[in-house]
Chains A and B, each alone.
Chain A
Amino acid sequence: MSVTQTQRDETGHASGTKCWNCQAPSAGVHFCAACGKIQPLPTGTDYFAFFGWPEKLSLDSAQLESEFHKLSWKLHPDNFVRASEFERDLSLNRSSELNDAYRTLREPISRMEYLLLRRGLRKEGTTKQQAPPELLEEVFELNESLDELREARAEGGDLAALREPLDAAQKNFQEKLEEVDAELSQIGQEWDAALDAGADEAKQQALLARMNLALNRRSYIRNLVASVQKELADA
């Protein structure tokens, strides 16, 4: 591990829109069109914009990968071994940003989470763990079954009989997971259509709020399924 005192004022916070080398206008692009030098990364660059795309949720994964490879070829620190320290630093920052962007956009779920994070609906690394109201009753039943199973295991009771309601519950929640995935995909399409139609802020916010709720429900159900699977495997 090493500590660097990177010049964040220059690399991370490009205030001007001019090329640091030749002063030609060069806002937001990877390389200056005039002199070809790698450019600093503007603060808070959006991962979609990094690839030159709008904030749309439907992404062709083959196209994303091919763009990732193209940009990797240009931005990777391998290209800057003999460049100035300043340019080496720019390459390090830009290529790490490229990799972060690719990693985030590659999966549909993390792509949505990122959009919500950008739009202020989510905080980094937090997921709500409250049970969605419409699931309360089923979750309550499930927890009872799980308790009975744990109890029976501790006391050496009949496990086979107890597995049945759990198997059924797991199947039920697995179906719900598929439902919520379908719903998310539907909201995603609506979001993309709204962007294309130039929908106003209120419409966008409404869609994002629905997306956020669905994502929370998904994450909750997923954890539930995982814990039931674990209990069944242990039993």
Chain B
Amino acid sequence: MGRVVGIDLGTTFSLIAYLDPQTGAPKCIPGPYGSTLCPSVVSVDEDGKIIVGEPARALLLTKPERTIYSVKRLMGRGVADVQEELKIFPFRIDPAGRNVIRVSLGDKWFTPPEISAFILRELKSWAENYFKEPVDRAVITVPAYFNDAQRQATKDAGRIAGLDVLRLVNEPTAAALAYGLHKQKRGYVAVYDFGGGTFDISILKLVSTTEGDIYQVLSTNGDTHLGGDDIDNEMQRRVREKILQLFGVDLANRPEDIQRLRQILIAAKHALSAQDSVMLRFNVSGGKVFEELLTCAEFEKWIEPIVARTMAPVRMALADAKLTPSQMEEVVLVGGSTRIPFVRKTVGDYFGRAPHCELNPDEVVALGAAVQADILESGVKTMLLLDVTPLSLGIETMGGVVAKIIPRNSTIPASAQELFTTGVENQTGIDVHVLQGERELAKDCRSLAKFQLKVPPGPAGLARIEVKFLIDANGILQVSARDLRTNAEHTIEVQPSYGLSDEEVERMLEESIEFAEQDFSERQVIEARTEAETILAATEKTLAHPRASELATDERCAIDDSAAQLRAAMSGSDYKLMRERIDALNQATMHLAEILMNGALQTALEGKRLEDV
């Protein structure tokens, strides 16, 4: 079995973390560019090769039509749901798509879980390079306010990326976990998580028991379409309007310009977290230059309505927890958008206390996920998360009214049983429509699934089928049914309203392997061979040095022997053997390295390996 990790699959950035067994502390793993942040951007080149992260972000400017970002906004949604996003995001969507969106990327169509899986595979490879070991299990975080379909889509993405998803953990809860480790506090905590595309608020109670600490979520609320993206879009809307007025140029049909402007505005937004004003300068293609000073005060005026939108969920979460703002012991800020001073001030004013932001708001969610992954994997439980379902679960009844069967903010796992029977004689099927949401009418709630209970013809009311709705610890609904007359399992076929079937996920898993970079072990073999070549070359060079004659004969023989053994291993494909023999050769050449150093240098470099000299 390979390693287990925690992954924050974010709208703008994604991160991967693990629990360092030495220090017992969670740690984010850096990628090839040195940063722990992997831009959640996927691009495909002309040869069909998939490019993820930093290089893909660079392609947003030059190849916007072959590059996709913020795909998290599309997870678990239908074509009708995303019409608003399409006005702003340059996504091309398959109009023939049914209950799953398909996005154009290069010459192919991909579903959002497949695109997310590319990001997950990239992160997986970061970790595998870091550990020199395969990674096959993960805890993945999701916004607390994600519905069933959005959660299922995230789980599917993990599966397609070749990961066994041990658990989906809510982002604010993961952050609280990371903070709890840090602070060891007790009492009520509010986690305000304003990320790139989603907003969550969770109210937790931290309790110490004799067994360990319990992180009990009392309530959660949010908006899965509210984030830094909205701030960027608002900035863009305003600046595009100015450009249209000034130069009569509409950027609408210039994707390259839009991307370039977007990156300039994002940079300006970041700058305004540290300074009072920033100069906006944008070369409109065609030779015109837009130039204007943007002050912090003006920026705050622009974003005030967006930040205000976060406060309604905050109030509702507190009301559901039957608590007041002043009862919070701690207020924790998570997500890149909480770097904006105006956001911090708004939250601080509301709760009447300075919010905590000691931990890196970009990393804190991934760190918490790594802690939970370790708890699940090691079986050593030092703390327990009790999370809730963010939305009420209901079934459609007469007249399209929804009967709530599991209220929002119920601790999960949670369940409800419902008895179904026939209303007319010789009825052979009972239709069941499952929904999620707070509204009274089915048409205003999110449809999760429809299914029919098949019953033998008979008098009305004779059939008695008990359906059990169970929301598991991931916040995903499971449905089972039992015939009360026979007490036998009742087979049901549930068609999810949005999302992929198990067969589709398996097929995508197979296909994704084709796209994936070389297999882990193959990559390890290549790396080990390169390293072996380096050390062999270094050994040869050192042995040719005049002072090498000072070596004793048996030492010389041991070096030759180790080198020969390493060469033999290199012809095979056992990378572990190669690594062992690299270490052996390093050991054998230790004395030689010492000999080659002289005087003061010798004492300074004592114990160093040959290749480092």
- A and B interact physically: yes
Residues of A within 8 A of B (CB): 1-9, 12-13, 66, 69-70, 72-73, 76-79, 81-82, 92-93, 95-97, 99-100, 102-103, 125
Is B489 among interface residues, defined by CB-CB distance under 8 A? Answer: yes
Residues of B within 8 A of A (CB): 148-149, 152, 166, 207, 209, 211-212, 214, 216, 375-377, 379, 381, 384-386, 403, 405, 407, 410-416, 434, 448-449, 468, 470-473, 476-480, 482, 487-489, 491-494, 496, 499
Contact of B384 among A1, A2, A73 (CB under 8 A): A73
Q: Judge whether A3 and B379 touch: CB under 8 Å.
A: no
**9 closest pairs, A vs B, by CB?**
A96-B413, A96-B415, A99-B411, A1-B477, A81-B376, A3-B494, A6-B480, A4-B478, A77-B473
Alpha-carbon gap, A4 to B496, bound state (A): 13
Q: Judge whether A72 and B476 touch: CB under 8 Å.
A: no
Q: Judge whether A1 and B476 touch: CB under 8 Å.
A: yes
Tell me, rounded to whole Å, the shortest Cβ–Cβ distance linking B188 to chain A.
14
Alpha-carbon gap, A125 to B417, bound state (A): 12
What are 13 residue pairs bridging A and B, where the CB atoms are less than 8 Å apart in the complex? A1-B494, A1-B499, A4-B478, A9-B487, A9-B489, A13-B487, A72-B214, A72-B384, A78-B384, A81-B376, A81-B377, A97-B415, A99-B411
Alpha-carbon gap, A78 to B97, bound state (A): 37
Q: Judge whether A1 and B479 touch: CB under 8 Å.
A: yes
Alpha-carbon gap, A4 to B494, bound state (A): 10
Tell me, rounded to whole Å, the shortest Cβ–Cβ distance linking A102 to chain B.
7
Closest B residue to A91 by beta carbon equals B413
Residues of B within 8 A of A100 (CB): 410, 414-416
Residues of B within 8 A of A77 (CB): 413, 472-473
Q: Judge whether A81 and B379 touch: CB under 8 Å.
A: yes
Q: Judge whether A99 and B414 touch: CB under 8 Å.
A: yes
Q: Judge whether B492 and A3 touch: CB under 8 Å.
A: yes
Residues of B within 8 A of A66 (CB): 209
Secondary structure class of chain A's binding surface, majority of residues: helix
Closest A residue to B372 by beta carbon equals A78
A-B contact count (CB 8 A): 110
Alpha-carbon gap, A81 to B216, bound state (A): 20
Alpha-carbon gap, A123 to B407, bound state (A): 18
Q: Judge whether A81 and B166 touch: CB under 8 Å.
A: yes
Residues of A within 8 A of B214 (CB): 69, 72-73
Residues of B within 8 A of A3 (CB): 478-480, 492-494
A102-B411 in contact given A69-B209, A73-B212, A81-B166 (Cβ < 8 Å): yes
Q: Judge whether B149 and A1 touch: CB under 8 Å.
A: yes
Contact of A95 among B207, B379, B413 (CB under 8 A): B413
A92-B470 in contact given A3-B492, A4-B480, A81-B377 (Cβ < 8 Å): yes
Tell me, rounded to whole Å, the shortest Cβ–Cβ distance linking B488 to chain A.
8
Closest B residue to A92 by beta carbon equals B413
Q: Judge whether A1 and B473 touch: CB under 8 Å.
A: no
Residues of A within 8 A of B468 (CB): 6, 8, 12
Residues of B within 8 A of A9 (CB): 487-489
Q: Judge whether A125 and B414 touch: CB under 8 Å.
A: no
Residues of B within 8 A of A1 (CB): 148-149, 152, 434, 448-449, 476-479, 494, 496, 499
Residues of B within 8 A of A92 (CB): 413, 470, 472-473
A5-B480 in contact given A73-B212, A96-B413 (Cβ < 8 Å): yes
A78-B376 in contact given A1-B448, A1-B449, A1-B479 (Cβ < 8 Å): yes
Tell me, rounded to whole Å, the shortest Cβ–Cβ distance linking B494 to chain A.
5
Residues of A within 8 A of B415 (CB): 93, 96-97, 100
Q: Judge whether B472 and A8 touch: CB under 8 Å.
A: no
Given contacts A1-B478, A2-B478, A78-B473, 16 further A-B contacts (CB under 8 A): A1-B148, A1-B149, A1-B494, A1-B499, A2-B476, A3-B478, A8-B468, A9-B488, A69-B209, A73-B214, A76-B384, A81-B377, A81-B379, A82-B379, A96-B470, A103-B414
